[in-house]
Every structure is written in structure tokens, then in C-alpha cells.
């Protein structure tokens, strides 16, 4: 017997589409052809170039700065010290309110009295070219009085140790602990105790494109435009506005193509803040691009940890509890605005995450030292937590005489135990470690590999087989930073536009750094609207996306193109009066006035929901817009959409009397080609 036929439209993502399919990246050819547009490619009229004179000492007092010789060099427009920029920029502090007891000294673009790491920028030189600025920088004479530096974890905690910041009582930035209780008793009664000490050296991200920024302040309009190789344009829009006292509506941050980031380009750097101030002082665009040497001594570092950990193990190999001490050195300041404590916080909360534990205790110490700041960098805290956990699990298996697969299978959180929480408090909705482990065992042909390993070892060839379980936390959402007072993602968003030509335009604030963000967004939009990905135009970069699109539409095409556009508009209006349907993404559609289309139209491509109830924020073009109706459009009340023109339903810009004034306004609006935002 045949199944009953239903006319119910498929819900978005239920039908076959683009999500989950291997697709080419639309921007790949452009980038491979060398047509990318990075900050380093941008040249603005009257643009100047900045370089920085840096401290050769890890810790030193700035006794005197002589800039007279540098100012006299050809092409030099400005030589600025910390005091010059401090008159414009308010200080910032890298703490989060929900990290109780966290402290860090205030920071300014350039230091006033002390340099606190080797490579810290002390003086800025601005000239007509980078070469002239570098020549002048060599003429800057700075007298330093060297101070004792804090260079490692033990020195930072020693009695009577030098303080990185004299205004603070000690070198402790942040301390936190976790304790489920009863851990000492578990260890006292365990059959085995395994332990280890783990040292992790500093890392940094070496992106193909180094940090780069152009700040362009227009004093006539009190307007700041910043071209910035960053992951977070909206974050910097807020920060530049707040710390330089500019109205946020007059600050625009453009993130063009970005050549890699890995988290390095999330953070506030002293040079970037300085460049904004330099542009304000000069009233001209100022550009700074870090070279590789500068990047190594100023880009954030990560993963400077010393971890002492132990595990209590039962005779049958069950891991009962873990006890962890993590000490991490974060440099002279806590990084702003995400801080330098998040990595350590995630280390102690992710250790032991894949396994069932009866007890857990951890102590985290985040310490200052006279080195480059550390902060979030690729897989924040996860590699450290995974390395410590899996080494303890291997040691536990050895003590209990269990194979590495067997000891993991015995201790992993059961696949039917979800939802549940880890011993550290992380909530897990649905993981599948046991299923993954079993599938891995089969794919590896594990027994054969062990046999081959034993044979090779008999011949003096030593081959290892490593197995590790991993839990990666999802995006912490704006709430994680927002609750701590960091304004990071509150302004992120997307705008979907459906144009008269039938193109779908997606403007997103999320930036593209080479990982395929634009491709992903195009797949989502195409599947949700039920259209081909080929007609979805994606623009990323937040303020850049909106600004460039708006600028293009404010202009008018020349001569024949304008006349052709007028004819096309006349023909479109004629087709609309005749009730004609036009193709959209392989389907059909009708033309609806804006407010009617947004609030009344029910679209099968959206599961029969109206655009408003579907939760879309649309900016529809001009008076009418094509919608992906698939030919089955209707309004919620069941009226024929053509009845709209008879006055039974009024567009928002027409008076109740339906007079000709509204019609004239609509015609003028169409001629201007203006954009109207539809509140949904």
C-alpha cells in the first residue's frame, strides 16, 4: 500500500542540500591567483608609516628619552612617547569580573616609566615611508636603568622576589581551585597512585600575514576608520571608541582578507592602540605592519605551564580520582580584554574530562613574569589537559596490567550516561567516547598492529602506538565574557538581503581567516532558504561588509546602464500588475510590498513559516522583493496577495485613505534605490 501523500513542506535542513557536502570554497581561486586584498596591500592617500623603538631589557626603568635627532631626520612627521599618547587614550585592565580576585596593572599604548619585557615598544616614530621611519628610529636615544627581572615560575613565587608591577602586592595574577571533596581519603585507600610532572614550553602562532593595521582619523568629522587584520572587528570598534573617546557610531573597523590568525589576532596590542592615537595626533592615515622579529617579541604567547598531577587507581584499573596543580606564567600583564587566565582555567577543568571520576581536586596559579604576555591561542588549554590526562591513564593501565585500549574502555563515561557533568563541572549533552573507541579499534586493526610491533621490537625497531581521548568544549557564547564585563560579541550578527535580481546576499560580522567561514555561511543560507548556493553572495568582515555594499548602492550607473535599469524597472512593475511569476532559485515567486512580504508571507522554503516567525532579519531591496516561494505562496489569513493592492491590507508607507501622496513617495523611493530595514 502506498504511503499517504502529504503537501507539508520540508523543514529547513531536512531536505538534501549543501550542508555536509564536500564543496569548493568560492574565494579559493581568487586567493590562489594572488588577488587577495590584505591590509599590507592597502595604500591610502597621504598615508604615513609607523615603527617602534623597543626595550632591549626584560625589566628596566626609562630614565630619559632623547628624540631631537630623530625629529630632525628627513621625512619624519612625528616622534611620540608614552606621555604623548596617554593624553588621548585611557588605560585598560585585563581582568574579568567573574574571575574573583584577579588583578593586573593598567596598560597604556606606550609605557611611561618602566619597560617590563624585552621587545616592549617604548617610542613611536612616524614618517613618509617605512624605511625613513626605521632610519629615524635608530636616532632615538633612550637611557634605561636595568631592574631585576622575574624570569620563571619559582622566582615569581619566591619569598621577597622582585615584583613585576610595584603597585601590586605580589606576582599572583589569579588563583582558582576545584574540589569535589574526599579526595585525600580516596588516595589513601587506592591500590595504586600514579603521578607525573609535566613542563610545557611557550608557543606562538606564526601566521602567513603578520599583524597589520591602518588607522585613518578624520578630524573634520571626528571619524575613525581602521583597516585591521583581526578576527573581531566589532570588538575593536567598541574598544577604540571607548578608550579614545570617540562616538562608537563614528568608528568603523574593516577586516579585509586575513592571512591566518589562530587566536593571535583576537587581542589588544599596544602597537595597535598606539597607531590609532598617532593617526589622531596627525590627522592622517598611519600604517604599521609587524615584521617577524617584532612578532616574536610582541605577539601573544601561550602554553607556558608546569603541571603536577596524580591519579588514584583501584586494583582492577578503575581510575578513582585525580589531583592537579597547574602553574602558568602569563607575562607582565594580563591580556585585554579576554585576559591571560582563561587558558589555565580550561586546563584544570578539562583534565580527566572523558572519564568517570569519583573525586577531583585542582589548584591553579596564574603568575606574572617579565616576558611577553600570554593569552588564548589555538585550542585554548585543551592540548595541555589532554596530554596530562592521557599520560596518567597510560600509567594507570601499566600499574593494573591493562592494555591502553582496555583501561580507556573501562574508565570512559558510558555512552548512555548523557546528559551528565564532569567532575570539574562541565556539562556534557551527548558524547560517544565508547563508540568512537570501538570503531577506532576496528579501523586500526589493533591486534595486528600490536603483533607487528612485537615482531619489530625483537629486531631492535621500536615503534609506539598512541591513543588519546579528547573533549573539546563548544563556543562559550557571549555570556562567558559578557558576564565578566568584556564587550566582545554582543554586536555580532548577520543580515540577509534578497535583491530584485533574485540574488541572496549574506553580510556577516564573522571574519574569514582561511578556514572556510564564507563557504560555511553560504551553505547554511542556501539550505535554509532552499536555493542554490550559486546565487548566495557572502561578504564577511562585519563593518567592512555593510559599508562596502552600502557605498556601491549609493552610486548610480552611468548612461545606457541607467536607462536599461529604468526599462527593467518599468517592465518589472508591469509584470507585477499582471500578477506574473518570476523564477527564483529554480522556483517561482510573486512580488510583495515590503511589510506584507515580511510579516504576512508564508514560504514553503521556510517550512511554511512567515519570514518573521522564521526568525530572519532581512534588509529587502526597494519596494518589492522576490521570495523563494516555490510557487506556493499565501498569506496567513488566506487572502489572495493581489487583494493587497485593493486597500484591504496597507503597506506601512501608505495612508489609510490610500491617496496619491503615498504612491508618489513610493515612486520617488524606487528611483532613489534606497534600502529599507524591515523589523521582523
pLDDT digits (tens, 9 = 90+) for 570-604: 555 555 455 443 433 333 333 333 333 334 444 44
231 C-beta neighbours (distance < 10 Å), count: 20
Distance CA 340, CA 301 (A): 10
The pLDDT score that the predictor gives to residue 13 is 52
Range of the domain at 477: 1-36+449-680
Q: Which helix H or strand E contains 408, and what residues bound it?
A: helix 404-411
Please give the tally of structural domains in the chain.
Answer: 1
What is the pLDDT confidence band of residue 484, given thresholds at 50, 70 and 90? confident
- Per cent of the chain over pLDDT 90 is 62
Query: Residue 256 is placed in which grid cell?
Result: 579585509
Distance CA 277, CA 259 (A): 25
Reference 575, options 672, 628, 637, 500; nearest CA is: 500
Look at residue 586 and tell me if it is in a domain. yes
What is the pLDDT confidence band of residue 491, given thresholds at 50, 70 and 90? low
- Per cent of the chain over pLDDT 70 is 76
Return the bridge partners of 589, or none: 582
The pLDDT score that the predictor gives to residue 604 is 43
Look at residue 494 and tell me if it is in a domain. yes
Does 441 have pLDDT greater than 70? yes
| Residue scoring higher pLDDT (540 or 43) | 43
pTM, two decimals, is 0.77
Q: How large is the greatest C-alpha to C-alpha distance in the chain, in angstroms?
A: 97
Q: What are the Cα distances from residue 659, in Å, to 40, 624, 662?
A: 56, 20, 6
List CB contacts of 584: < 8 A, sequence separation 6 or more: 502, 531, 626, 627, 628, 629
Asked if residue 651 lies in contact with residue 595, where contact means CB atoms within 8 angstroms, the answer is yes
| Residue scoring higher pLDDT (622 or 513) | 513
List CB contacts of 223: < 8 A, sequence separation 6 or more: 217, 246, 250, 251, 252
* Residue 507 DSSP label: E
Average pLDDT of every residue of the chain: 82
What is the pLDDT confidence band of residue 543, given thresholds at 50, 70 and 90? very low
Average pLDDT over residues 211-218: 98
Reference 116, options 328, 368, 377, 376; nearest CA is: 368
The pLDDT score that the predictor gives to residue 24 is 83
The pLDDT score that the predictor gives to residue 12 is 54
The pLDDT score that the predictor gives to residue 347 is 97
Does 194 have pLDDT greater than 90? yes
Does 445 have pLDDT greater than 70? yes
Distance CA 320, CA 359 (A): 7
Distance CA 443, CA 440 (A): 5
Exposed e or buried b per residue across 235-274, where buried means at least 16 C-beta atoms within 10 angstroms of its C-beta:
bbbbbbbebbebeeeebbbbbbbbbbbbbbbbbbbbbbbb
Look at residue 562 and tell me if it is in a domain. yes
The pLDDT score that the predictor gives to residue 23 is 82
Exposed e or buried b per residue across 152-172, where buried means at least 16 C-beta atoms within 10 angstroms of its C-beta:
ebebbeeeeebebbeeeeebb
Reference 88, options 201, 225, 243, 212; nearest CA is: 243
Average pLDDT over residues 42-71: 98
The pLDDT score that the predictor gives to residue 574 is 53
Average pLDDT over residues 624-628: 37
Look at residue 281 and tell me if it is in a domain. no
Distance CA 306, CA 227 (A): 39
Query: 582-584 and 587-589 as β-strands: parallel, antiparallel, unpaired?
Result: antiparallel
The pLDDT score that the predictor gives to residue 568 is 52
The pLDDT score that the predictor gives to residue 537 is 85
The pLDDT score that the predictor gives to residue 19 is 86
Q: What is the pLDDT of residues 350-373, one digit of tens each?
A: 999 999 999 999 999 999 999 999
Does 66 have pLDDT greater than 70? yes
| Residue scoring higher pLDDT (539 or 470) | 470
The pLDDT score that the predictor gives to residue 634 is 35
Look at residue 361 and tell me if it is in a domain. no
Look at residue 356 and tell me if it is in a domain. no
Backbone angles phi, psi at 133, to 5 degrees: -65, -40
Look at residue 226 and tell me if it is in a domain. no
Return the bridge partners of 619, or none: 677
431 C-beta neighbours (distance < 10 Å), count: 20
| Residue scoring higher pLDDT (281 or 497) | 281
Distance CA 463, CA 479 (A): 46
Look at residue 626 and tell me if it is in a domain. yes
Q: State the alpha helices, DSSP H only, in 108-232.
A: 130-137, 153-157, 183-189
Q: What is the pLDDT of residues 149-159, one digit of tens each?
A: 999 999 999 99
Task: Tell me the angle at which helices 382-400 and 342-350 cross, rounded to the nearest 10 degrees.
Answer: 20
Reference 171, options 155, 185, 194; nearest CA is: 155
Does 249 have pLDDT greater than 50? yes
| Residue scoring higher pLDDT (77 or 651) | 77
Amino acid at each position: 500500500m502506498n504511503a499517504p501523500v502529504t503537501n507539508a513542506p520540508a523543514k529547513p535542513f531536512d531536505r538534501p542540500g549543501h550542508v555536509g557536502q564536500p564543496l569548493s570554497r568560492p574565494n579559493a581561486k581568487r586567493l590562489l591567483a594572488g588577488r587577495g586584498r590584505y591590509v599590507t596591500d592597502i595604500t591610502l592617500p597621504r598615508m604615513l608609516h609607523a615603527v617602534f623603538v623597543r626595550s632591549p631589557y626584560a625589566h628596566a626603568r626609562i630614565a630619559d628619552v632623547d628624540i631631537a635627532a630623530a625629529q630632525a631626520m628627513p621625512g619624519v612627521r612625528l616622534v611620540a612617547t608614552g606621555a604623548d599618547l596617554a593624553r588621548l587614550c585611557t588605560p585598560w585592565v585585563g581582568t574579568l569580573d567573574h574571575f574573583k580576585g584577579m588583578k593586573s596593572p593598567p596598560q597604556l599604548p606606550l609605557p611611561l616609566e618602566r619597560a617590563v619585557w624585552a621587545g616592549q615598544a617604548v617610542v613611536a616614530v612616524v614618517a613618509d615611508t617605512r624605511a625613513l621611519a626605521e632610519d629615524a628610529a635608530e636616532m632615538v636615544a633612550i637611557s634605561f636603568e636595568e631592574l631585576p627581572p622575574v624570569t620563571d615560575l619559582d622566582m615569581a613565587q619566591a619569598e621577597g622576589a622582585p615584583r613585576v608591577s610595584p603597585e601590586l602586592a605580589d606576582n599572583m595574577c589569579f588563583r582558582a581551585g576545584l574540589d569535589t571533596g574526599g579526595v585525600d581519603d580516596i588516595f589513601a585507600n587506592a591500590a595504586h597512585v600514579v603521578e607525573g610532572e609535566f613542563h610545557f614550553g611557550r608557543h606562538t602562532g606564526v601566521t602567513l600575514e603578520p599583524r597589520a593595521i591602518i588607522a585613518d582619523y578624520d578630524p573634520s568629522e571626528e571619524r575613525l576608520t581602521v583597516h585591521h587584520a583581526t578576527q573581531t572587528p566589532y570588538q575593536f570598534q567598541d574598544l577604540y571608541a571607548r578608550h579614545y573617546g570617540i562616538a562608537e557610531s563614528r568608528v568603523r573597523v574593516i577586516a579585509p582578507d586575513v592571512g591566518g590568525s589562530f587566536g593571535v589576532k583576537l587581542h589588544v596590542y599596544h602597537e595597535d592602540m598606539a597607531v590609532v592615537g598617532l593617526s589622531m595626533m596627525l590627522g592622517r592615515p598611519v600604517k604599521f605592519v609587524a615584521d617577524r622579529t617584532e612578532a616574536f617579541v610582541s605577539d601573544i604567547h601561550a602554553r607556558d605551564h608546569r603541571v603536577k598531577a596524580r591519579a588514584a587507581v583501584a586494583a582492577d584499573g578503575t581510575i578513582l580520582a585525580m589531583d592537579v596543580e597547574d602553574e602558568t606564567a602569563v607575562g607582565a600583564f594580563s591580556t585585554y580584554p579576554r585576559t591571560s587566565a582563561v587558558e589555565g582555567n580550561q586546563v584544570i577543568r578539562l583534565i580527566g574530562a572523558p572519564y568517570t571520576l569519583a573525586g577531583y581536586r585542582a589548584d591553579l596559579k596564574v603568575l606574572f613574569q617579565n616576558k611577553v604576555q600570554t593569552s588564548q591561542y589555538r585550542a585554548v588549554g585543551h592540548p595541555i589537559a589532554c596530554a596530562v590526562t592521557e599520560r596518567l591513564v597510560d600509567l594507570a593501565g601499566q600499574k593494573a596490567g591493562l592494555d591502553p585500549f582496555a583501561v580507556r574502555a573501562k574508565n570512559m563515561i558510558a555512552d548512555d550516561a548523557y546528559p551528565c557533568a564532569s567532575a570539574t563541572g562541565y556539562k556534557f549533552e551527548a558524547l560517544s567516547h565508547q563508540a568512537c573507541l570501538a570503531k577506532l579499534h576496528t579501523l586500526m586493526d589493533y591486534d595486528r598492529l600490536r603483533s607487528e610491533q612485537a615482531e619489530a621490537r625483537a629486531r631492535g625497531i621500536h615503534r609506539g602506538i598512541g591513543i588519546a581521548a579528547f573533549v573539546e568544549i563548544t563556543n562559550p557564547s557571549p555570556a562567558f565574557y559578557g558576564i565578566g564585563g568584556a564587550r566582545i560579541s554582543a554586536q555580532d550578527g548577520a543580515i540577509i538581503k534578497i535583491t530584485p535580481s533574485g540574488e541572496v546576499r549574506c553580510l556577516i560580522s564573522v571574519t574569514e581567516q582561511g578556514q572556510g567561514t564564507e563557504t560555511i555561511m553560504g551553505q547554511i543560507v542556501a539550505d535554509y532558504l532552499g536555493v542554490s548556493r550559486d546565487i548566495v553572495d557572502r561578504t564577511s568582515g562585519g563593518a567592512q561588509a555593510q559599508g562596502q555594499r552600502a557605498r556601491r548602492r549609493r552610486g548610480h550607473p552611468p548612461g545606457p546602464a541607467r536607462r536599461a535599469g529604468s526599462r527593467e524597472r518599468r517592465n518589472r512593475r508591469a509584470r507585477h500588475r499582471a500578477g506574473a511569476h518570476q523564477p527564483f532559485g529554480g522556483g517561482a515567486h510573486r512580488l510583495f510590498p515590503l511589510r506584507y512580504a515580511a510579516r504576512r508571507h508564508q514560504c514553503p522554503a521556510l517550512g511554511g513559516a512567515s519570514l518573521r516567525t522564521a526568525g530572519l532579519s532581512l534588509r529587502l531591496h526597494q519596494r518589492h522583493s522576490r521570495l523563494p516561494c516555490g510557487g506556493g505562496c499565501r498569506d496567513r489569513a488566506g487572502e489572495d496577495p493581489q487583494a493587497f493592492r485593493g486597500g484591504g491590507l496597507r503597506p506601512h508607507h501608505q495612508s489609510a485613505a490610500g491617496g496619491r501622496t503615498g504612491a508618489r513617495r513610493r515612486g520617488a523611493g524606487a528611483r532613489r534605490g534606497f534600502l529599507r530595514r524591515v523589523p521582523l
